[in-house]
Structure 1
Amino acid sequence: MRRGQTKQNSHSKRFVGLRTKIDKTKAYPMEEAIKIAKETATTKFDSSIEVAIRTGIDPAKSEQQIRTTVLLPHGTGKKIKIAVIAPADKQKDAKAAGAELVGGTELIEEIAKTQKTNFDILVTVPEMMKDLAKIAKILGPKGLMPNPKTETVTPNLKRTVEELAKGKISFKNDDTGNIHLSIGKASFDDQKLLANYQAFIEALNKRKPASIKGIFIKNITISSTMGPGIRVQI
């Protein structure tokens, strides 16, 4: 970096340089957009490849809110730590399925005492939800509170944990009706990223609100972490 040049200016020049590889007037086929997103992934770490979708929902209407899950066939490239809170007779299956942290009410007491959540996702069974109320204020702000809509409250712990370990993730719209999801890493093969993207779009279309008027998916862009956005054909 030259004397007098700020880190922000350096980043801006890098970003501007990457943008020259993209025709901003064009919407690219996803296959081509993936290649460009990977080419513009210049971070020192393995960048995530992220998809942003602008929908036509009215986020102020509860019946148009989107919150669901998708099983990405090739995962996100990120290893997640799964915790399970369940009765003793169901804990063995949860461990066998891949949960790293498994317990019952004693785990709830530990979280309440330490205020610590050393996991990425928490799964439970319906009958334990009343017990989780004790730590709802700890889990809620971190997005860790189990919810039937994300299938983290389930009677079938084994299947749910196995699917989460394979790459099942939840997504929802933000306050402006946009949806963001990582479909993998820049190191992924192009076809794996494409398959993950197709699974995402299929899951999203299945959750199209019945009350929506007009266009559901208005705009799609793909980018690498800290990379420029590439508009994708719908």
Structure 2
Amino acid sequence: MARLTKKQKEALAKIEKGRVYSLSEATALVKEITNTKFDASVDIAVRLGVDPRKANQMVRGVVSLPHGTGKDMKVLALVTPDKEAEAKEAGADYVGLDEYLDKIKNGWTDVDVIITMPSVMGKLGPLGRVLGPRGLMPNPKTGTVTMDVAKAVAEVKAGKIDFKVDKTGIVHAAIGKASFTADKLAENANELIQTLIKLKPTTAKGVYVKSIFLSSTMSPSVAVDSKVN
């Protein structure tokens, strides 16, 4: 087992064993125990009482974080020529079609989000093996397949993220940076949690939000009261 560094021991010592913190307490504590030389990401992990193997219990969606993620999201707009100008004006980092499809075929995936149009989706099908595992395949349910390309690009740039429960029943998402105030982190986290609550499948039985943990890059995790309201 790896030995803990002095800073890791100090961080762990600040977390009360067995205690479940309020959201505001947890965000303040995560900031306190983050000791990286760079602006660390703050992440949330929400364990849901669902069985992701069942289609009617799959939880996925989008949320616009009030204060953004703190990350400059790189957006690729795969669009026809008539939509290129509006995609560029909305802030897309890469705009085009065939040239980028060829680059993706050759393994290029240096983007965070791909936005496209319904008419282009047929061309993306063969690239599923490249885009799928990286979570880059556009999907109408997350607003990344749309005719309103400009709006979709602007929303992603402003802090809209998509999320999906993994095979273990956990939703992972970045909710900001350690440089954010504790209040802003708490508001971003609460926005995601409330969105998840609204998406509760009718077939999910028992406790829906089982646990919530906050952490930053390389920090220990802090347990959050799952009865957030």
User: Are residues 118 and 227 of structure 1, via their aligned partners in 2, closer, same or farther at CA, if it must alter by over 3 Å?
Assistant: closer
Residue pair 1:24, 1:231 contacting (<8 A) in 2 also: no
Instruction: Give the C-alpha shift of residue 227 in structure 1.
Output: 1.2
Taking the TM superposition and a 5 Å limit, the aligned residue runs for 1:108-127 are 108-112=101-105, 114-127=106-119
* TM-score, L = length of structure 1: 0.90
Pick aligned residue for 1:170 from 158, 162, 165: 162
Distance, in Å, in 1 between the alignment partners of 2:195 and 2:139 is 18
Matched residue, 1:214 = 206
| Corresponding residue of 2:182 | 190
Maintained 8 Å contact 1:69/1:150: yes
Amino acid at match of 1:119: V
SS in 1 for 2:179: coil
The separation in 2 between residues aligned to 1:163 and 1:186, in whole angstroms, is 22
**8 A contact 1:122–1:144 mirrored in 2:** yes
Query: How much does 1:225 deviate?
Result: 1.5
Matched, 1:232 2:224: yes
2:148 corresponds, among 140, 143, 156, to 156
The SS at the match of 1:9 is coil
Task: Decide whether the 8 Å contact of 2:7 with 2:35 is kept in 1.
Answer: no
Matched, 1:33 2:26: yes
TM-superposed CA distance for 1:101, in Å, is 0.6
> What is the 5 A alignment of 1:82-121?
82-112=75-105, 114-121=106-113
Aligned length: 226
TM-score (norm. length: structure 2): 0.92
SS of 2:210's equivalent in the other structure is strand
**Cα displacement string for residues 105-136 of structure 1 (whole angstroms, at most 9, x for unaligned residues):** 34323433x43233221110111111222433
Q: Quick one: structure 1 residues 140 and 60, their matched pair in 2 at CA, closer, same or farther if it must change by over 3 Å? A: closer
- How far apart in 2 are the matches of 1:209 and 1:48? 29
Distance 1:10 1:60 in 2: 37
1:154 alignment partner, SS class: coil
Following superposition of structure 1 onto structure 2, how do residues 33-112 of structure 1 map, counting pairs within 5 Å?
33-112=26-105
Distance of 2:21 and 2:7 partners within structure 1? 22
Query: Aligned partners of 2:76, 2:112: CA distance in 1, in Å?
Result: 8
Give secondary structure in 2 for the equivalent of 1:138.
helix
Cα distance, 1:165 vs. partner? 0.3
Aligned counterparts of 2:35 and 2:24: Cα–Cα separation in 1: 19
Structure 1 unaligned regions, length at least 5: 1-5
Q: Which has the larger radius of gyration?
A: 1
Given that 1:49 and 1:225 are in contact with CA atoms closer than 8 Å, whether structure 2 keeps it comes out as yes
Q: Distance in 1 between matches of 2:166 and 2:43?
A: 15
